[in-house]
Amino acid sequence: MGFYFCINLERALRDEGLWDEHTEDVEEIVRLSEAIIGPYEGSAEHGGGVKRVLCHETGIVTGIVLPLNFVATKCRVRSIRWKAIELMKRTGRQEGL
């Protein structure tokens, strides 16, 4: 899974509103990340931690924290931003952050 944004760097440095044009893209990052990470541990569908453990053992989570960090820092839609933060907490990984 990869995420690519083609943007004007000069504009990105001076206009945070640029990222508002990519709200659908960041929603997709969060949706795909949640599908990989799995449901919240406290939920009925969690199934005893199996999906979370599987993600850690297979290394699928590697490469999820950085896109989620991007969403958490650049997206100005509060619900999307906080969902990304919640997902990062669930992974228990840092990936150089």
**Among 67, 80, 76, residue whose Cα is nearest residue 5:** 67
* For residue 90, pLDDT beyond 70: yes
pLDDT tens-digit readout, 5-58: 677 888 888 888 888 988 999 999 999 999 988 876 665 454 444 344 334 444
What pLDDT is stored for residue 18 in this prediction? 86
What pLDDT is stored for residue 77 in this prediction? 95
CA 4 and chain centroid, separation? 14
